[in-house]
Amino acid sequence: MEERAVNEDVMQKKHAADERAEPADVVAPDRTPLYQEHVDLGARMVEFGGWLMPVQYPSGIIEEHKQVRSGVGIFDTCHMGEFVVRGKDAALLCNTYTSNNVAALAPGQAQYSYICNDQGGVADDCIVYQFPEELNIIVVNAAPLKSDYEALEALAERHGMDVTLLNGSEETGKLDVQGPGAAELVQRHTDTDLASLKYFRAVWGEVDGIHCLISRTGYTGEDGFELFFPIGETVRLWRLFVEGGANPSGLGCRDTLRLESSLPLSGSDVAPPYNRNPLWAGFGRFVKLDKGVDFVGREALQRAADDEGGERLINFFVTGRGVPRAHYPIMKDGTQVGEVTSGSYGPTLDKYIGMGWVTAGLNKTGTQLEVMIRERPVGIEVQPRPMYKKGKA
């Protein structure tokens, strides 16, 4: 993170100091500063992207999901990564590194984008922030964080760009406050006028006296904020919002919320293989082939744009009985035509839903296909995106 969130006086490890020693050949999952908070709340902890994270609390995934849709939920997202890019070529480097057009951003604006490999596959998805004084911040996912940063460093060096890079991930705390009640809750603790902060905009401000980057973004399909701050303040802010009425929410409901909202999961729905590039996934609006910068993967993505074959990513409802799981075969007339990448029960839609890749031409809304569940075919129907839209169940 930038400014006070990257000061040396607040630097500390994200995992707890009392983490038990492991054998030399075993890498123990990291812990965020909220690990004990989650345990004390009765959360079920799981390994995710190299971190021990809460998958659900005693109320359960469905109740947590409903709380975010109707009220306000809070997520621990301290495991995610934040890269600071400063200097004359900061925006140019970000534009060369990612698929969207960073040059189109106004100060304080955020942008969803992809980090691609040379083959056009998705190494990660990210949010890029543009700020004055030649400053950009890139927010990435936990699992590919190290490789993402190494690729950024290598790209800057290869092109001789005038930039200073900082991996601020270990010094930065992050909480997501999401739901229709998020603005009212956060506004109680800040003088920043949140009503004037538009979607995918960010501003520096104070929350309960703590210097924060307040971003009107999220991964739930609801209104909400992602807050970035010095990591030493994480527990204090978590307790502030939980005591104020935010419902602790785990990875389980985060997944069902984003799946209903047709938001892809990096590494699953969009992934490194060339045939699972963002264009064929249907997210071409985040790939600007004509932005005038030879960004990583551009040539391969141009070939994909010109190729009507390959695979396409679909969203679907299950019309029969059964739960679609990742890697279950998708069938058409007895022949496998693809596979599921994400699947679950959608509490708001009250349907079993999923995402998956199928042969091009089978991705049109209304197409009837089947998923093999426990060795039997179960009907599915291709749906438009998003399957859930805020305010419309």
pLDDT digits (tens, 9 = 90+) for 257-308: 999 999 999 999 998 888 899 999 999 999 999 999 999 999 999 999 999 9
Q: Assess whether pLDDT exceeds 90 at residue 182.
A: yes
What average pLDDT does range 215-232 have in this prediction? 98
Instruction: Note the pLDDT of residue 92.
Output: 98
pLDDT at 249: 98
Query: Residue 19 pLDDT > 70, yes or no?
Result: no
Average of per-residue pLDDT across 246-254: 98
d(CA 192, CA 179): 19
Which pLDDT value is given to residue 10? Answer: 24
Distance CA 230, CA 347 (A): 35
Task: Give the model's pLDDT for residue 28.
Answer: 80
Mean pLDDT of 28-47: 96
Query: For 49, phi and psi rounded to 5 degrees?
Result: 60, 30
Backbone angles phi, psi at 354, to 5 degrees: -170, 175
Position 20 scores a pLDDT of 34
By percentage, how much of the chain surpasses pLDDT 90?
Answer: 91
What pLDDT band is residue 26 in, cutting at 50, 70 and 90?
low
* Cα first-last separation, the chain: 36
Stretch 91-97: mean pLDDT, rounded?
A: 98
- The dihedral formed by the CA atoms of 158, 164, 170 and 176, expressed in degrees to the nearest 10: -100
What's residue 190's pLDDT?
98
Question: Which pLDDT tens digit goes with each residue over 310-348?
Answer: 999 999 999 999 999 999 999 999 999 999 999 999 999
Kindly tell me the burial class for residue 111, based on how many C-beta atoms sit within 10 Å of its own C-beta (0-12, 13-18, 19 or more): buried
The mean of the pLDDT values for the chain is 93
Q: Which helix (H) or strand (E) covers residue 75, if one does?
A: strand 73-76
Q: Is the pLDDT of residue 15 over 80?
A: no
CA–CA separation, 62 vs 67, rounded Å?
9
Largest distance between two CA atoms of the chain: 63
Q: Is the pLDDT of residue 241 over 60?
A: yes
**Mean pLDDT score, 23-44:** 87
Task: Supply the pLDDT for residue 274.
Answer: 83
* Residues 368-385: tens digit of each pLDDT: 999 999 999 999 999 999
For residue 296, the tally of other CB atoms under 10 A from its CB is: 20
- Tell me what pLDDT residue 393 has: 61
